[in-house]
Amino acid sequence: MNYTYRVRDGSGRILRGTMKAENRNSVIQALLHQDYTILEIREHESKEAGPREVFSFNWFQPIKIKDLSLFTRQLSVMVGAGLPIVRSFKILEEQTQNARLCKIAGQIREDLEAGLSLHEALERHSQIFSPMYVSMVKAGETGGALDAVLQRLADTLEREQEINAKIKSASVYPVMVLSIAVLVVIFILMFVMPIFVQSYLTAGTELPAFTQFFLNISYFLKEHFLLLFGGVTALVFALKAWGRTPNGRLLFDRFYLQIPLVGKVVNRVAVSRFTRILGTLIRSGVPILQAMEVLQGVVGNRVIGDAIGKVRESIREGQPIAAPLAATGVFEPMVTQMIAVGEETGAFDSVLERISVFYDQEVTLAIEALLKSLEPIMVIFVAIIIGMIIVATYLPIFNILSTIYV
């Protein structure tokens, strides 16, 4: 097999080269014998080794929270059973079903073999492993409790998946109803209404202003449908792109918090995530300032994240966490009071766990309340729109009948 390597010599220079060897260990031994510090070793098949898959669409397969939680739990079991970390990743590389995660497991194994610590290897894949994940692994490595930390990470990811699943399932029904309603309205305006109106015009009936208004909308849709569809699509993509910018995300997140009912769900989800992750980080040995820095980016809402950043600065100045949290106005009094009790009694992490469990239930209740409120609102809205179109369609008939019988 052919191997490419990157090493540092005694004078600090970075050297690169290739070496042919039976296995990776032979390359490592040869480089160490020359007093090199190994930075990277990668395996390359020789030209005689047959065809190699250069490109695969599986490499772009998304990594879901479910995949990552299973990956983390399997790693926790193997580390807890005493398997070496390199061998654990070799097993994960062979049995992980997600092709992209499998490839990343192989790259992490190579980095571990090259001498990197686990958290350093994970940090190279920041698009997959969040700052929270890396910080907890680092704390687990430092404290010698990596298996327990990985177990907590898996639990946290699974609870995150449950909340996301509830939110997605709750959004399916309103989106479907609204989509079907829009399609029905467009169909009536473009194909049904013009047929009736044409018969009125043929009979020489004068169209009421109300009917003419919807007829103008119908003509506009038929003549400019593709342009309108393209414009709406471009607007959606532009808003999504702008929403990824710092200013755009701040504006959208502030708007979400102010929407009736929706804002309550967003707040509940953010508080649940905040208390759950903070409790997990503290229990894993991550310092409070570092934990707050991590939370600022993973809480899921920029407004609440900025509030956490202010709390972090207050803690840096020596204040307890409860008072700055209460001053932000984002967290309810129950949360800040329970956190204050946890600080006073020394049961900070267990109190955070209880708050997160409570708010997980609150998320479910808030979603159910949102659905119960949205359903009649959407039905009434759709009924009004379709009813107006039907009235506009049949209004000329009523005018004709009133003319006949007067």
Q: How many CA atoms lie within 13 A of 73 on its CB side?
A: 11
Q: Let me know: does 356 contact 331? Beta carbons within 8 Å.
A: no
Position 311, amino acid = V
Split at pLDDT 50, 70, 90, the class of 404 is: low
Q: Is the pLDDT of residue 11 over 80?
A: no
Q: pLDDT category, 55, cuts 50, 70, 90?
A: very low
Which stretch of 1-10, 52-61, 77-86, 218-227 has the lowest confidence by average pLDDT?
52-61
pLDDT at residue 54, as a whole number: 36
Helices (H), 34-130: 65-80, 85-95, 99-113, 118-123
207 pLDDT more than 90: no
Q: Distance (Å, rounded) from C-alpha 341 to C-alpha 348? A: 8
pLDDT at residue 57, rounded to an integer: 44
Q: Categorize the per-residue pLDDT at 1 as very low, low, confident or very high, splitting at 50, 70 and 90.
A: low
Segment 172-188 shows an average pLDDT of: 86
Give me the mean pLDDT over the 41-45 stretch. Answer: 64
**Of 158, 166, 137, the residue nearest 75 (C-alpha):** 137
pLDDT value of position 170: 76
Buried b (16+ CB within 10 A) or exposed e, 90-121: bebbeebebebbbbbbbebbbbbbbebebbbb
pLDDT in tens, 305-343: 888 888 889 888 888 888 888 888 888 888 889 988 988
Instruction: Return the biggest CA–CA distance within the chain.
Output: 110
CA 59, 62, 68: angle at the middle one, nearest 5?
105
Length of the chain: 406
- pLDDT band with cut points at 50, 70 and 90 for residue 61: low
Cα–chain center distance at 104: 19
257-261 average pLDDT score: 84
Contact 282, 347 (CB under 8 A): no
Rg (CA), the chain: 30
Domains of the chain: 2-49 (3.10.20), 59-158 (1.20.81.30), 163-406 (1.20.81.30)
Q: Any idea which residue has 């502030």 for tokens?
A: 254
- pLDDT band for position 231 (cuts 50, 70, 90): very high
CB 286 within 8 A of CB 135: yes
**Residue linked to tokens 């009694």:** 345
pLDDT score at 40? 72
Predicted pLDDT at 122: 92
**CA dihedral sign of residues 187, 189, 194, 200:** positive
Whether 58 shows a pLDDT value over 60: the answer reads no
Q: What is the pLDDT of residue 235?
A: 93
Q: What is the pLDDT of residues 121-152, one digit of tens each?
A: 998 888 888 888 888 888 888 877 888 888 88
The pLDDT of residue 52 is 35
What are the tokens at 169? 């399932």
Q: Are 326 and 339 in contact (CB under 8 A)?
A: no
Is 238 a residue whose pLDDT tops 90? yes
Going by C-alpha positions, the residue among 190, 236, 243 that lies closest to residue 214 is: 190
Task: Specify the range with the lowest mean pLDDT, choosing from 39-43, 316-320, 350-354, 402-406.
Answer: 402-406
Please give the residue that has the higher pLDDT: either 226 or 53: 226
**According to the model, what pLDDT value does residue 168 have?**
82
User: Closest Cα to residue 370, out of 277, 256, 286?
Assistant: 256
Pick from 10-19, 179-188, 258-267, 374-383: least confident: 10-19
> Which contiguous run of DSSP H or E holds residue 288?
helix 288-298
Query: CB burial class (10 A; 0-12, 13-18, 19+) of residue 122?
Result: buried
- DSSP assignment, residue 59? G
From the number of C-beta atoms within 10 Å of its C-beta (0-12, 13-18, 19+), residue 73 rates as: middle
What are the strands of the beta sheet with 2-8, ordered from one edge? 14-20, 2-8, 37-44
Instruction: Give the pLDDT score at 5.
Output: 75
Query: Using CA of residue 387, residue 388, residue 393, residue 396, what is the dihedral sign?
Result: positive
User: Is it the case that residue 361 has pLDDT exceeding 70?
Assistant: yes
Pairing between β-strand 2-8 and β-strand 14-20 as defined by DSSP bridges: antiparallel
3-state DSSP of 259-274: CCCHHHHHHHHHHHHH
> Percent helix, strand, coil in the chain (nearest 5)?
75, 5, 20
Mean pLDDT of the chain: 82
**Mean pLDDT, rounded, for 13-35:** 73
Instruction: Give the pLDDT score at 222.
Output: 85
Q: Which residue has the higher pLDDT, 262 or 75?
A: 75
300 vs 233: which has the higher pLDDT: 233
Count of CA atoms in the C-beta half-sphere (13 A) of 20: 2
